[in-house]
Structure 1
Amino acid sequence: MTENHCTGAVNAVKEVWEERIKKHNEELKREKEFQQKLVRIWEERVSLTKLKEKVTREDGRVILKIEKEEWKTLPSSLLKLNQLQEWQLHRTGLLKIPEFIGRFQNLIVLDLSRNTISEIPRGIGLLTKLQELILSYNKIKTVPKELSHCASLEKLELAVNRDICDLPQELGNLLKLTHLDLSMNHFTTIPSAVLNMPALEWLDMGSNRLEQLPDTIERMQSLHTLWLQRNEITCLPETISKMNNLGTLVLSNNKLQDIPVCMEEMVNLRFVNFRDNPLKLEVMLPPSESTDEEEERELFGLQFMHVYIQESRRRAGMCVEQINSSFHLAFSVS
């Protein structure tokens, strides 16, 4: 009886001590969390102070401008600066666009080029006033369809992300987009979304892996400048001649073997470059009167294109004559 009584007393004392230890540990945990919260609040205040120092006003716009400073992430305290109209963060090592980006309803320009951003958050679609989105020189692989909700977007630059190979079909709904840079990525064809952009005037798809242009390229009727240098294009569709507003066409460093005769119909074409293509015909331009003309002619190549087409027609005519002569000769002999 005495032994059982002693055991019960020991257990009771043990329970009391365990309860006290548990409460003590909980108090220590709460104190630690409180201290961490104080540290976070302090850090956010410090960060906010630093961010405020980077805010300037130019041309009536409130701009956050950071260059060559390490900001791998942006603190939530940035939300206190929701009046910002432009972000310019370059070479900061920024890893991601914050999820709360959609709460900056006044943003007109978002320039986060030359960072290490790997994705675009879907919240980007909430920026209905955004006119320019510049994300060149990052590590982005895909583009969210929500970007199509940025109804005011006029300029989109995604150059030198290396791995982007397609765009969502929904981006064809960007009715105000006039400028698109997709150079130095992994595209093998011009996305249908791009062909459907009604206002597009300037397109750079240089240094991709394009092998051919779609027959539907003529749908880009507003396009006046098209950069396609350093691709693997082997031929041009005849529908290219129906791009009535095209004034600049750069096709250097491709695999073109011929220039379509139909391109002679492109009366608005003012600048064209066919340099460094394995063209079948060797064409010599007539001597120029001055060195300046020589340089200008080599730069623009428009005269070269016309001379090439004329020579192509001449040789085609000679070939037809030879065929006709052979036919008549064979007929007369028989």
Structure 2
Amino acid sequence: MAPAKRLDVPVQDLSLIRGIWEVRVKRHRQKQKKEQERMENSALIRIDQQWQYRIYCKSLKTKDLQRHLDPPTPCTGPPQDDLTVQTDSDRLIFRLEGDRWMDFPRELQWMTYLQEWCVRGTRIQQLPDVLSLFTQLTVLDIPKNAIRELPPDVGRLGELRWLNASYNRLRSVPPELGSCEKLQKLELAGNRSLSELPFELSSLKQLLHLDLAENSFVSIPVCALRMTNLQLLDLSANGLTDLPQDMDRLENLSTLFIHRNNLSYLPMCLPHIPSLKVVVVSGDLLTSIPTKLCSNPDIKFIRLYDKPISEDRRRRKEEGRRWRVQREEVQDSSDKEFMEAYLSSLQDRDTIPCSTTKVSFSCRL
């Protein structure tokens, strides 16, 4: 009987094999990322889009074709049409207004050269799927629409500087927005159901202006405390009951709006913010205020007092809000305009009044 043949089986450390494959996977992902960046920066895509746009224009009638092919002219007054493409200081701006719009126009997909969107007062509920193609977009101004969510593709707008999605129907913000590292101004006011921000927004180190007014926040988002260059923070008209004791981490903060909340005290760290210039609070519920905050001549400390109303009127007011959503949005915008005008009037004053009562007027015709 022939002897059995011996087989030498190599035995390797499993951790060593795993490490080898992890290195290979990492290199493969890096290669894919470089290829994707190369394709995004390639002129071939833009050339293809331009030719597709020309083909689309050939299918239009003569009148419509003239409107799309003529170079846009600067406009000093309001546009005559609710859909225009304008140049303003050598910037290409897309404007869309009017409640007859329920979706973006089809021809927008060929206008990837645009640098600004200004879409207001429409019934549009979602942004187009081609949003990621607008790599040159620096301003996305889309307030007072019916937008329910921001797509993850918004994180691919690497040149974005200003995002205004106020007075829509947002319930959340995508974590991918944290990839827009050049973002300087973020406005999310008036989205009633918005109550938190993803931690990934902590990477927005260049953000200077954060507006979260008229939402459902019960505390300051953690990511906001990590935005080290933040200069203006608006958390008015939320459900805040206290402020964190480490707010002095925002060393560049100059303006803080926290009125129309449920705050009964202010943290002792507020006067320690070296750049703080303006603090606006509601004085009705406040019982504890740092002495340094009131006595510091460099800080304009403004306490707003609302006229007290009866419980019956308060209940009727809450019930009426359910049926006057659009009217409430207009009123909230007026409140913000009032605060801007009021603060502007204080810039030239050496002193400010110890308290201010805001008075509303109405007349019936």
TM-score range, shorter chain: 0.5 to 0.7
Q: Contact between 2:294 and 2:301, CA under 8 Å: does it hold in 1?
A: no
**For residue 57 of structure 1, what is the aligned residue in structure 2?**
87
The match for 2:26 is: none
Change (3 A) 1:90 1:50: farther
Q: Which residue of 2 aligns with 1:276?
A: 305
- Matched residue of 1:114: which SS? coil
Establish whether residue 256 from structure 1 lines up as the match of residue 286 from structure 2: yes
Structure 2 unmatched ranges of 5 or more: 1-55, 69-82, 307-344, 356-365
CA–CA separation in structure 1 for the residues paired with 2:248 and 2:113: 42
Contact kept? 2:233, 2:256, Cα under 8 Å: yes
**Whole-Å separation in 2 of the counterparts to 1:70 and 1:137:** 18
Amino acid at match of 1:191: P
Gap change, CA 1:100 and 1:253, over 3 Å in 2: farther
1:37-80 Cα deviation digits (max 9, x unpaired): xxxx89x968x969946111011100011222522122454221
Cα distance in 2 for partners of 1:210, 1:51 equals 50
> Partner amino acid for 1:301?
C
Change (3 A) 1:196 1:70: same
C-alpha separation in 2, matches of 1:51 and 1:205: 43
Q: 1:51 to 1:165 in 2, by over 3 A?
A: farther
Give the secondary structure class of the aligned counterpart of 2:117.
strand
TM-score normalised per structure 1: 0.67
CA distance in 1, matches of 2:90, 2:84: 16
Change beyond 3 A, Cα 1:108–1:191: same
Contact 2:181/2:205 (8 A) holds in 1: yes
Q: Name the SS for the 1:249 alignment partner.
A: strand
1:301 to 2:354 alignment: yes
* SS, match of residue 171 in structure 1: helix
Distance 1:162 1:69, change over 3 A: closer
For the 8 Å contact 2:259–2:304, the answer to whether it is kept is no
What is the CA RMSD across the aligned residues, in angstroms?
2.8
Aligned counterpart for 1:211 among listed residues 218, 221, 241? 241
Q: Secondary structure at the match of 2:96?
A: strand
1:184 aligns to what?
214
Q: Say whether 1:97 aligns with 2:97.
A: no
CA–CA separation in structure 2 for the residues paired with 1:67 and 1:164: 25
TM superposition shift of 1:103? 1.0
CA distance in 2, matches of 1:112, 1:167: 19
**CA separation of 1:84 and 1:72: change in aligned 2, threshold 3 A:** same
Is the partner of 1:89 in helix, strand or coil?
A: strand
SS in structure 2 at match of 1:274: strand
State the distance in 2 between where 1:98 and 1:210 align.
Answer: 35
Change over 3 Å in CA distance of 1:49–1:166 after alignment to 2: farther
Cα contact 1:156–1:180 (8 A) shared by 2: yes
| Structure (1/2) with the larger helix percentage | 1
- The number of residue pairs the alignment matches comes to 244
- Compute the displacement of 1:300 (Å): 4.5
- Of 60, 77, 100 in structure 2, the residue corresponding to residue 70 of structure 1 is 100
Unaligned runs of 5+ in 1: 1-40, 278-291, 303-334
Distance change (3 Å), C-alpha of 1:254 and 1:72: farther
Q: Is 1:230 the counterpart of 2:260 in the alignment? A: yes
1:54 alignment partner, SS class? strand
Conservation of the 8 A alpha-carbon contact between 2:293 and 2:301: no
Contact 1:45–1:77 (CA under 8 A) maintained in structure 2:
no
Moved over 4 A (4+): 48-53, 264-267, 296-300
| 2:155 equivalent to 1:161 | no
Distance 1:50 1:118 in 2: 35
Q: How far 1:267 moved relative to its partner?
A: 5.3
User: Offset of 1:254 from its aligned partner?
Assistant: 5.0
CA-CA distance at 1:230 after TM superposition? 0.3
Aligned to 2:3: none
Q: 2:239 & 2:287 partners in 1: Cα distance?
A: 17
Letter in structure 2 aligned against 1:81:
M
Select the residue among 109, 133, 139 that pairs with 2:169. Answer: 139
Contact 1:242–1:266 at 8 Å: present in 2 too?
Answer: no
Letter in 2 for 1:276: Y
What is the identity percentage for the equivalent residue pairs of Structure 1 and Structure 2?
Answer: 33
TM-score, normalised to structure 2's length? 0.62
- Cross-structure match for 2:314: none
Instruction: Tell me which moved more, 67-76 or 193-202.
Output: 67-76
CA distance in 2, matches of 1:101, 1:50: 26
Determine the C-alpha separation between the residues in 1 that align with 2:231 and 2:192: 23
